[in-house]
Each structure stands twice: as structure tokens, then as C-alpha cells.
Amino acid sequence: MSRLCLAAWGKLTVAPAGDALIAARSLTVRFGQVTALDNVDLAVRRGEIVTVIGPNGAGKSTLVRAMLGLVPASAGGVRRDPTIHVGYVPQHLEADRTLPLKVDCFLALGAPSAGLEEKQAELAEVGASNLIDAPLQALSGGEMKRVLLARALLRAPDLLVLDEPTAGVDVAGQADLYGLVRQLRERRGCGVLMVSHNLHLVMAATDQVVCLNHHVCCQGLPEVVTRDQAYLDLFGSGALAEIAVYAHSHDHHHDVSGALVPKNGDGYGVGSGEQGDG
């Protein structure tokens, strides 16, 4: 993604909001008579993972697109530090099956100046080093997500934005992807804005949670949000039990083909319920 063109409050401005990489203030988005977002405040700081959760149709993807300048604000606006680079991983990417395209060439579309070694290094970082010559159309859901993540990382992002990063990924791969996101934050020090509906996994993978249903119902630390009445009203009391079931560590992860790989010393692939237990 190229650097965003920024205007003034009411849409986008170049002035950072405090120490935030990007921040929404009183952000409202309407499509005709339908209000998709109403008076939303949200900020992402360097080294912080902020996850937006909410039911289907709550405006989560609209919020991400509005913060990236892809959807215009009807009121309020977004501020972004003008010096940062943004890496974006979309929820879906449909590859035209009639157009032959290898992963190597696909990565070059997002970073034309990147050499083969750089592309291979980013694929290796996301656990997909064997895919450099694979046809894009033949990738599984999990493989595609890792390739999209590698493409975003080629921009050396200060802010990594992921819209439903585990959509189309099986359960075994979801915890590994969230673990990978935590590791990228720790290694690179970037801020992460993530949209997710996986309540049972996301609470172990984030620093701040924003519960959205067109407006911000509640936000804060995961352990605080999950006990907020607004959260319980939205997701039901059963959500706490669901999260508890999955708050545990794994002694292995899965490679891009789904095979079991023992956990190494850096904790890759862990679906832990504890922060930092990558």
C-alpha cells in the first residue's frame, strides 16, 4: 500500500494524536441513511496490538477501511503519523485462476524494489519459505494469509493492519497465526490493528480490545473487557467459558502444509493464554 494521502480533521490529517501511530476521533461513517460507525474513538501506538471485535455487520471492516482512508468519514476523522509505513492484510483476496501468477511475482507487485533474497526472508519469517515458486491460485487459506502477511512486511511497516487474519484458516492454524502476529510485534516493535471474531483466541493475542457494534460498546484490557456488561450483553455469558477453554499453551505448531512441528526456543506457534508466551 502506498502512503496515504491525508487531508484535514473530518477526513484525515497528518498530525499524530499524542504518541499514537494512528487514531480515530469521533469517527462517523454513513452509507446513505445507514450509519455504519457512530462516534468511534480508537488509537494504536507503537508496539501495541489493538483488536476490534464485534458481531457480523458491526462495522469492523468499515472502521479499518476508514482509518486507512479507503472509506470517507461522514463526521469526525482520523489522524496518522505522516512518517510511518503501513502494511495491510485484507480479509479476502480472490486470485484469478485464468491468470498464472507465482508467489514471487505477487510479492513483487506490492514491493517492486524487493529482491529475491528479501522476499524469501519475509516468507521465512511467516513460516512460508517453501512457497516462493508456488502458484498463487493453488494456495490454501492458511498459505494465502501467510503470503499476504509477507507482502505487507516487505514494506517494513510501522503499523500492521490485519482484517480478519484467520478468515479461511482451520482452527489449528488460527492460534499459530495469532502467535506469529505477537512475535512480529515483539521483533519489529510495530503497532498492530487487527479485526477478529475469534473470541476464544484473540484475548491471548492482544493488548487492547475494542468491542464494536457500530459504536464502541467497551474497550480496554482483555481481562477487563470480557467482564464488562456491554461485552456480555453483546456476546452472551457463554463467551467467557469459550475463552477459558482455549486459554492454554501448545508444545507444537503447524507448518504451512498442516504438519506438526515441535515448538522451538522462541515459542513460535503458541496459542497461549498468557501475554508474551509466544
pLDDT tens, 196-241?
877 667 777 789 999 899 999 888 887 777 777 777 777 765 555 4
What's the one-letter identity of residue 148?
L
What's the one-letter identity of residue 122?
E
Q: Given CATH 3.40.1080.10, say whether it is the number of domain 11-22+40-85+157-255.
A: no
pLDDT in tens, 59-86: 999 999 999 999 999 999 999 988 899 9
Give 45's pLDDT tier (boundaries 50, 70, 90).
very high
Share of the chain above pLDDT 70, in %: 77
- 8 Å CB contact between 159 and 190: yes
Neighbours of 265 (CB within 10 A): 5
Worst-scoring range by mean pLDDT, 3-7, 27-31, 42-46?
A: 3-7
- Rounded average pLDDT over 151-173: 86
- 8 Å CB contact between 35 and 213: no
Cell triple for 136 = 498463487
Nearest alpha-carbon partner for 246 in 196, 164, 177, 175: 175
- 8 Å CB contact between 235 and 199: yes
Is the backbone of residue 156 left (phi > 0), alpha (psi -120 to 50) or beta? left
Between 138 and 31, the more confident residue is 31
Cell triple for 235 = 456476546
Enumerate the domain spans of the chain. Answer: 11-22+40-85+157-255, 93-155
Share of the chain above pLDDT 90, in %: 44
Nearest alpha-carbon partner for 2 in 69, 91, 93: 69
Cα gap 100→248, rounded to integer Å: 42
Cα gap 241→18, rounded to integer Å: 37
Element of type H or E holding 179: helix 171-188
Tell me the sheet residues that pair with 220. 209
- Cell 473470541, located at residue: 199
